[in-house]
Amino acid sequence: MLDIKWIRANPDKLDESLSKRGIDSVSKSIIHIDSEKRALISLIQKLQHERKEKSSSVAHIYDKSSTDFEEIQNDVKLINQKITELETSLLHHEKRLSEIMDNLPNLVADDVPYGTNSDMNKVLKECGTIQNIKFPKHHYEIGKNLGMMDFNTATKMSGSRFVILKHDLAKLERALINFMIDVHTTEFNFFEVSPPCLVKDHAMYNVGQLPKFADASFETTTGYRLIPTAEVPLTNIFANTTLLEEKLPIRLVAFTPCFRSEVGSAGKDVKGMLRMHQFGKVELFTIATPEESNREFEYLTTAAETILKKLCLPYRVVLLCSGDIGFAAHKTYDLEVWLPAQNCYREISSCSHFSSFQARRSLSKYRELCSKKVDFLHTINGSGLAVGRTIIAILENYQNSDGSVTIPEKLRNYMGGQKLITPLTETVF
């Protein structure tokens, strides 16, 4: 959510930021509705004061049958009617303003490049060595040949975009989760938590998922939503709280299953594990002061990059352009891993700086150490990493010609010293 006071003072800057996203200007509408709303509030307060004075004067009239008493009573009655009418109009204006404000995206950072789509994103760097793999197989072909990636059985019980991982691939998934969390907690001082995977609508609203992206998540019949990312519960830990500046920054890490309806993704990445309704993800989250937030954004991104470096997976860092950046994001880096079978880079992590956008919705504040002034916090989060896509990257980058897959060195201790994943000779189902 944006600050209405800032919009009043900077209407042109708002429209400029919206224009970069390809959105029509709305500042005139906002200021017009806001001005009418404020005028109504002022008029209501004036009438309430007038009513109070008249009601007080009644107490000094001892003859309740007098003309003065009757006139004042009629005046108060008319004032009450007028206040009711104005309050109805005020509610209408508040609703209109809220609808516009709730659908306003965050302001893009000054260093975010202008662009209309992902083709105009800016590649900042490429890291790692791309191996020359002759006739590389897709991850789903490798998984099938190993006998450890079962889409058919999953589809029978859950429909498309689900998978069952078996044996060593299930073990690899567990190893990756533990490895990622160990790196983030021991090397980068993130604090591990295990949050709920079901949340109320207000929690989704606080991070910017609602109302705009209501159809992108799974909703239960009892008023809950399955989380699309651990960003939702982690951000809401600090909702309606005021933290002391000396306690900041706070860095959290969590593994959760994530659930997405993938509305609008029909026909995209139909084969394999790239786009699933359910997937595991290790999420990084930081809450910081505005002065610290840019540094913490870079720090969090470095933590996510470190996983790729330790796994020796080729990747690149991409700065998203104004037309590709997320609704709530102020600035975003995508980490894209190399997939040999696709002969291209694919997103494996998205790290975003949200400035005070989410904090304003969730009322997450801090008290400055010296001045004792209370202000809104800044939030930052990113995948560290998406576990399923990391499995994809390992299968494709570590595949061998005999059908086996080499286990990255950093994961071997997490897999009991195992160095290779070889095809199953038999399976229990």
289 among annotated binding-site residues: no
Q: How far is CA 257 from CA 227, 260, 277, 342, 387, in A?
A: 8, 10, 10, 26, 10
290 and 406 housed in the same domain: yes
pLDDT at residue 388, as a whole number = 98
348 among annotated binding-site residues: yes
Q: Final residue of a domain: which of 69, 102, 135?
A: 102
Residue 327 lies in a domain: yes
57 among annotated binding-site residues: no
77 and 144 housed in the same domain: no
Residue 135 lies in a domain: yes
Residue 427 lies in a domain: no
302 and 351 housed in the same domain: yes
404 among annotated binding-site residues: no
Residue 348 lies in a domain: yes
246 and 345 housed in the same domain: yes
85 among annotated binding-site residues: no
265 among annotated binding-site residues: no
Q: How many domains is the chain partitioned into structurally?
A: 2
* Residue 9 belongs to domain with CATH number: 1.10.287.40
Query: Which residue spans within 138-192 are E strands per DSSP?
Result: 149-150, 164-165, 191-192
291 and 390 housed in the same domain: yes
Q: d(Cα 276, Cα 271) in Å, to the nearest integer? A: 10
Which residues form the domain of 62?
4-102
pLDDT at residue 67, as a whole number = 75
Tens-digit pLDDT profile for the chain (429 aa)?
999 999 999 999 999 999 999 999 999 999 999 999 999 999 999 999 999 888 888 766 666 666 777 788 888 899 999 999 999 999 999 999 999 999 999 999 999 999 999 999 999 999 999 999 999 999 999 999 999 999 999 999 999 999 999 999 999 999 999 999 999 999 999 999 999 999 999 999 999 999 999 999 999 999 999 999 999 999 999 999 999 999 999 999 999 999 999 887 767 777 999 999 999 999 999 999 999 999 999 999 999 999 999 999 999 999 999 999 999 999 999 999 999 999 999 999 999 999 999 999 999 999 999 999 999 999 999 999 999 999 999 999 999 999 999 999 999 999 999 999 999 999 889
* Residue 301 belongs to domain with CATH number: 3.30.930.10
220 and 340 housed in the same domain: yes
Cβ-Cβ contacts under 8 Å for 266 (sequence gap 6 or more)? none
Residue 141 lies in a domain: yes
Backbone angles phi, psi at 428, to 5 degrees: -80, -15
218 and 367 housed in the same domain: yes
Residue 426 lies in a domain: no
88 and 225 housed in the same domain: no
- Select from 206, 200, 284 the least CA-distant residue to 250: 284
70 among annotated binding-site residues: no
pLDDT at residue 71, as a whole number = 84
87 among annotated binding-site residues: no
383 among annotated binding-site residues: yes
Q: Final residue of a domain: which of 102, 126, 148?
A: 102
pTM value > 0.75: yes
82 and 176 housed in the same domain: no
pLDDT at residue 154, as a whole number = 98
Name 333's bridge partners: 319, 351
Q: Is omega for the bond preceding 385 within 30 degrees of 0, making it cis?
A: yes
251 among annotated binding-site residues: no
230 among annotated binding-site residues: yes
Query: Which residue spans within 229-292 are E strands per DSSP?
Result: 241-244, 250-259, 278-288
219 among annotated binding-site residues: no
Helical axes 27-58 vs 67-102, angle rounded to 10°? 160
Task: Using DSSP, state whether 350 is helix, strand or coil.
Answer: strand
191 and 315 housed in the same domain: yes
194 and 294 housed in the same domain: yes
**What amino acid occupies position 85?**
E
pLDDT at residue 72, as a whole number = 83
Q: Final residue of a domain: which of 73, 102, 131?
A: 102
Residue 35 lies in a domain: yes
Backbone angles phi, psi at 286, to 5 degrees: -135, 140
43 and 180 housed in the same domain: no
346 among annotated binding-site residues: no
Q: d(Cα 390, Cα 255) in Å, to the nearest integer? A: 14
Residue 108 lies in a domain: no
